[in-house]
Amino acid sequence: MSVREAWFRYEKDSKDILCGMNFDVHAGELTCIVGGNGAGKTTALMTAAGVFAPYRGKVKYRGKPISTFRKDKSSAGKIGVLVQNPLCCFVMDSVAEELEAAAKAYKLPRSRIEEVIDIMQLRNVLDSNPYDISGGELQRAAIAKLLLPEPEVIFLDEATKGMDAFFKAEFGALLRRLAARGTAIVLVSHDIEFCAEFADRCAMFFNGTVIAEGTPQDVFLGNSFYTTSACRISRGIIPDALTAEQVIDYANRCERKKNDA
C-alpha cells in the first residue's frame, strides 16, 4: 500500500490536516505512527485505510486506487480499521452476538469465532453488553471482531488504550505473530514504550506529514523529547537502550562481568 503526496482537509475552507503526506505500508510489518496531539496521525491512518479521500494525491493498494479496492465485494474484510472509540463497532446486546453477527456476514465457520475469542481472551465477557465491560475488554472485543475475516492490512487507532500491562504485552506478541504471517499492521499510538518494543518501523508525524521514519532505534534514540523513559534515563550511560528490558539486560551483564573479575 502506498500514499503519495496526500493532502486532506475536513472542509473546503478549513486548514489542511495532511500536507503532502508520503507513506508506505508493507506486508509482514508492524508500523507505528507517533507524534503529538493534533499532528494529523488519525487523519493519516484513515486516509491510508481509504476511509477518508484526499483532495490531492493518491492512495493505492495492490496497484489500484484504494477506493476501487474497498468497493469490490470480494475484498470485504481484507482491510480492517479500528477507530479510537471501539463502541462504534458494536450494535448488538452482547459481545457474543456481535461476533456471531460479524462471522455470519463474512460467512465464517463457528471455529473461527472460537479462535478469536481465545486469542483475545474474551470468554469471561461473551454474555456482557459492550457498554458494561471495561475499556481494555472493549478494545479486545473490537479487535477480535476486526480479526475475524483475517484481514491483509490492519489499521489500529490507539489500540492499546485501556489495556493492562500484562495484556498489552500479550497484544504486542499477537501483532508480531500476525506480522510474521504476512499481515500489514499500522498502529497510531502515544505509547512510545510499546512502539519501541514491538514495531518494525516507526513514522514520526508533525504538521500533517512524516518528518522522520525508520526503525524504532532510528526514530527514538536521537530524539531528546519524543523517546522512551528508558532511553532518557540511560542516555550517555547505556548505548542504544530503548526499552526497560534492554536496560535490565545491560545491568545484568555488567553484574556478571563484575562477579567474573
Can you tell me the distance from the alpha carbon of 246 to that of 4, in angstroms, rounded to the nearest whole number? 36
- Return the SS3 of 7: strand
Question: C-alpha angle with apex 42: 14 to 81, nearest 5 degrees?
Answer: 125
Q: Assess whether pLDDT exceeds 80 at residue 191.
A: yes
Average pLDDT over residues 221-244: 85
Can you tell me the distance from the alpha carbon of 160 to that of 126, in angstroms, rounded to the nearest whole number? 20
Can you tell me the distance from the alpha carbon of 224 to that of 215, in angstroms, rounded to the nearest whole number? 17
Q: Which pLDDT tens digit goes with each residue over 204-230?
A: 999 999 999 999 999 998 887 788 888
Q: Residue 163: its pLDDT value, please? A: 82
Q: Residue 166: its pLDDT value, please? A: 87
Average pLDDT over residues 90-115: 95
Using an 8 Å Cβ cutoff, are 167 and 140 in contact? yes
Q: Residue 165: its pLDDT value, please? A: 87
Q: Assess whether pLDDT exceeds 90 at residue 19.
A: yes
| Sequence ranges of the domains in the chain | 2-219, 228-261
Nearest to 138 by CA among 66, 69, 90: 90
Please tell me the pTM assigned to this model. 0.87
The CATH number for 2-219, chosen from 3.40.50.300, 3.30.470.30, 3.40.228.10, 3.80.10.10, is 3.40.50.300
